[in-house]
Amino acid sequence: MTKDLRTTLEAIRGGESHYREEAYLFLLEALDFTLSGLERPRHVDGRELLDGIRRLAIQRFGPTSRMVFEHWGLRSTEDFGRIVFELVDHGVLSKTAADSIDDFAGVYDFKTVFEERYCWTSE
């Protein structure tokens, strides 16, 4: 993590943030993960980012994803939206005029996608 990013995260978290540093770092990693799956780099909207977050979480944490997110202070997709817009406000990320925090509202339920629909495979 760069010194600038660390300073920015300390400033955000020193304010009113309810999220652990790992949540911010995971979101940034999930953005890179999402962008790497595109044919060419472009802006991604909230739903696309949330899909990348879901896919990376399943890959990384499997059916414990919800527990990990809750440990980091994340209870819903709206929490990721709050993090995105905190990072936008601090100049780490950018947004378009069409982007809204509402894009993150109720996109999926953590228990449903990470536990109830988790695809167990036996090999």
pLDDT given at position 13: 81
- pLDDT tens for each residue of 40-77: 989 999 999 999 999 999 999 999 999 999 999 999 99
In angstroms, how far is CA 92 from the centroid of its own chain? 14
Map out the domains of the chain as residue ranges: 24-116
Percentage of the chain beyond pLDDT 70 is 94
Dihedral in degrees, nearest 10, Cα atoms 106, 111, 113, 119: -170
Indicate whether 120 pLDDT > 80.
no
In angstroms, how far is CA 84 from the centroid of its own chain? 8
